[in-house]
Structure 1
Amino acid sequence: MNSTGSPSAATVGIYQFGQDNNYKNVRYVNGTTPDQANIRADQKVSGPIPKGDGTLTFGTLLPATGDSSFLGAPQFAGVDLAIDEINKAGGVLGKDVKQLKGDSGDGSPNIAPSETDKLLRGGADVILGAASSSVSLSVIDKITGAGVVQISAGNTSTAFDTYPDHGMYFRTAPSDVLQGQVMAQTISEDGHSNIAILARQDAYGEALAKNVRSFYEESGGKVVSYVLYDANAANYTAEVEKAKAQHPDAIVLISFDEAKKIVPELIKAGIGQNG
């Protein structure tokens, strides 16, 4: 981990979908992310530290509903398994670890703040989540301001690299600096010199899109269209047509569940897998 609670090194897997609509691993890329040169006072452990009750309680703020709910089930299962193993090994300080479950949703509607309040009132010492960077940014002040540790397995936005978290926020996913670099490198190695970027307009999409563009242009490539879209839009015809008009030889799509709407639009426009 680096000085601000993020992985300093990670491995990114690159997968490719085949004609049978199944995917296979192409390769793994190892990389590092630079540490922050200057750590501010509000990024170090500070503020009120609540008095414990002798029982370690984990609160889970994970997506049980919304577009990201497909990510929730395996994450909840992972927490259940970890707590089960801890308790079978004797618990912590001779007591079983407890869990309080909360639903982060996906930000539409924004239920995470009220769910966070519920977890804090229930005595959570650590809150695991959220999976979405945008959702975590909506509650990080509540959590870390209360002196409670927050740990996410899915946040990649660069916003967390310098966030004033009182030293209480950690993540096990690498910053988008690494993912953006790997994605740009992969596109260049595939021989594409002019690309269009379509990305959801939120903390995750904007940060990753920015890093892909930066690293890709540094390598000599050209971004001919750069479109940030509303993830809750009814359709994406205008965004796809805008990208198509610039005649890109590849599309970078940074999305969540709304890809199910965008990909058919790309194919219909002749710039998808059948273009």
Structure 2
Amino acid sequence: MHMSRGTRAAILATCATLLLATSACGNDQAEEASANQVRLYGTDGNMLNSYPEELKDRANLVDGMKGTTPLTPLPENFKNRLRSVDAGLTDFLYAAEAYDAVVISALATELAGSTNPAAIARQIVGVTNDGTRCETPAQCLRLARDGDDIEYRSVSITRAGFTDAGEPATASYATLHFDNQQLNDAKTEFVGAGDESAASTKAPPRGNRQPGRSDPLVLGGLLPKTGDLALAYPPMAAGAALAIKEINAAGGVLGEDVVWIDGDDGTSPTVARRTIANHVDAGVHVIIGAGASGISTAVLPDVVKAGRILFSPSNTAASLTDADDNGLYFRTAPPDSLQGRALADVILRDGPQKIAIVARADAYGEGLQDAVRAELERAGFGGDKVKLLGYEPGESAEAAPINFSDGARQIKEFGADAVLIIGFGESAAVIRALADADVPLAALGR
């Protein structure tokens, strides 16, 4: 799309201020699209190599789509260790966060000297702040067994630790691009966000380890093996499995191997509640999940009532920062108040005139939609230039496909030249509907 020099300068100035720390603004040339073409943008729920499969024989529609996801540059050594537990792994989204959620849970238990969930919870934030820095389960467990305060840094927790609310104070985001129905790693850019000063400075209480053998720490999975977010399950499962493997190889926790009990959240509150009930009956101390923010929001009261910890590697809804959790909810994924800035920057770099934001109707979708809208508004995109739409995700894998034909018609009439789609695997129906409505997607013009 042609832009005047003044318009391009204004957009680049906005790009420079949107992010707290950035390398993603790149050069001063916005990527040009042919006249009347519509660019597609995505988020962490659909910017995966497995996503084009959701479009079946129309997978080419994702070509040219770009978006953001919480992601730090992962060392090859870590990727190879993940492949040692899942040789077929093609995506790494939230693998590091799942790994760190399990390791932090183990370290907090060792420091607490107890598998009591309340005692573990009181140590979790402190594990990441103001102690002797350590970077591997073996190193950190050795320090914890000696009673030393530790400051855990690893693959997803790099610059700063947790805030008082139990979530990362800083984050890294990647800008991803689809080419030839797969993510083009050569185009991936990373950007930092957040504030290191937001990390907690509170000292955790001293642990109270009792002499003799302890019960083993039991972790229960609440990850999306099925449902709309199932495409993100393999990397999260691999991250958790790798952490269990390495913790137990380092001697376990409180003298016992950590036990993992698998479980599905189904991307469904009904399935997730059933799994939680089973975990409580089985004596699980820490539940790793849920995958989607909306599922965690729905089931958190059940977890709190049972006195267990809910520790998610992938929840990003900003609303969960202030959830009524009795100090039992934590996450290694950063809140969408940070991702909204990075995502708005990616869109603005291409110089759009009108932007449609389509979101699944849950805590994740609506929360990120609002965060991006607010950032675009700051950049001068008022209500006449931004259109918000939503859709109801199905309650189960057997639910009827999303019908977005009316939304596609509205986007075409609005004249949007940029469409952001916030959703999971089911959001492929939005792209199909846009193509069926003859919205001139950029991929179709190639």
Q: Which position in structure 2 is the counterpart of 1:229?
A: 391
1:125·1:148 contact (CA, 8 Å) conserved in 2?
yes
Matched with 1:99 is 260
What amino acid sits opposite 2:362 in the alignment? D
**Equivalent in 85, 88, 91 of residue 249 of structure 2:** 88
Query: By how many angstroms is 1:87 displaced?
Result: 1.2
The offset of 1:17, in angstroms, is 1.6
Aligned twin of 1:256: 424
Matched, 1:135 2:292: no
- Aligned partners of 1:225 and 1:242 also within 8 Å: no
Give how far 1:33 is off. 6.0
**Residues 226-263 of structure 1, C-alpha deviation per residue, up to 9 Å, x if partnerless?**
11111235421101111111111211111111222221
Check whether the contact 2:358–2:422 (CA below 8 A) recurs between aligned residues.
Answer: yes
Question: Aligned pair in 2 of structure 1 residues 55, 26: CA closer, same or farther (>3 Å)?
Answer: closer
Q: Which has the higher contact order (CA 8 A, sep 6+)?
A: 2
Among 415, 419, 431, the residue aligned to 1:247: 415
SS of residue matched to 1:226: strand
CA apart distance, 1:271: 3.5
Q: Return the alpha-carbon distance in structure 2 between the equivalents of residues 229 and 34 of structure 1.
A: 36
Residues 161-214 of structure 1 show CA distances to partners (whole Å, capped at 9, x for unaligned) of 111111111111110101111111221122113201111111110000000001
Quote the residue 1:181 is aligned against.
Answer: 341
Is residue 337 of structure 2 the alignment partner of residue 169 of structure 1?
Answer: no
State the partner residue of 2:167.
6
Kept in 2, the 8 Å contact 1:224–1:246? The answer is no
Give the TM-score normalised by structure 1: 0.88
Amino acid of the structure 2 residue aligned with 1:140: L
- Conserved in 2, the CA contact under 8 Å of 1:58 and 1:125? yes
* Other structure's SS at 2:389 match: strand
1:102 alignment partner, SS class: coil
Q: Kindly indicate whether the alpha-carbon contact (under 8 Å) linking 2:248 and 2:258 is maintained by their aligned counterparts in 1.
A: yes
CA distance in 1, matches of 2:434, 2:195: 33
Matches within 5 A, 1:69-88: 69-88=230-249
SS of structure 2 residue aligned to 1:77:
helix
CA–CA distance in 1 between the matches of 2:214 and 2:252?
15
Residue 142 of structure 1: how far off its partner (Å):
1.7
Task: Tell me how many residue pairs correspond in the alignment.
Answer: 259
Provide TM-score, normalisation by structure 2. 0.55
- Paired AA for residue 250 in structure 2: A
Q: CA deviation at 1:98?
A: 0.5
Per the alignment, do residues 262 and 34 of structure 1 end up closer, same or farther by CA in structure 2, a change over 3 Å counting?
Answer: farther
CA deviations 1:78-137 (Å, max 9, x no partner) are: 222211111111111111111111110011x72111110110111111100001011111
- The alpha-carbon deviation at position 53 of structure 1 amounts to 6.1
Higher strand share: 1
Deviates more, 1:201-210 or 1:160-169: 160-169
1:264/1:35 CA distance change after superposition, 3 Å: farther
Deviation at 1:23, TM superposition (A): 2.2
Alpha-carbon distance, 1:35 to partner: 8.7
Match for residue 68 of structure 1?
A: 229
Structure 1 regions of 5+ residues with no counterpart? 37-44, 46-51
Q: Structure 1 residues 149, 240: CA separation in 2 closer, same or farther (over 3 Å shift)?
A: same
- Equivalent residue for 2:194, pick from 32, 43, 60: 32
- Whole-Å Cα distance in 2 between the matches of residues 164 and 249 of structure 1? 40
Cα deviation, 1:21-74, whole Å, max 9, x if unaligned, reads 2322341111006999xxxxxxxx9xxxxxx96210001111111121222232
Of residues 206-215 and 217-226 in structure 1, the stretch that sits farther from structure 2 once superposed is 217-226
SS at match of 1:117: helix
Q: Which residue of 2 aligns with 1:270?
A: 439
Work out the CA distance in 2 between the residues paired with 1:93 and 1:234. 48
Which secondary structure does the structure 2 equivalent of 1:144 belong to?
Answer: helix
Partner residue, 1:39 = none
Equivalents in 1 of 2:419, 2:196: separation in Å?
28
Residue 82 to residue 73, structure 1, CA distance change in 2 (3 Å): same
Distance 1:124 1:35, change over 3 A: farther
Residue 22 to residue 69, structure 1, CA distance change in 2 (3 Å): closer
Counterparts of 1:117 and 1:35, CA distance in 2: 38
**Secondary structure of 1:55's aligned partner:** coil
Q: Pick from 275, 285, 298: which aligns with 1:125?
A: 285
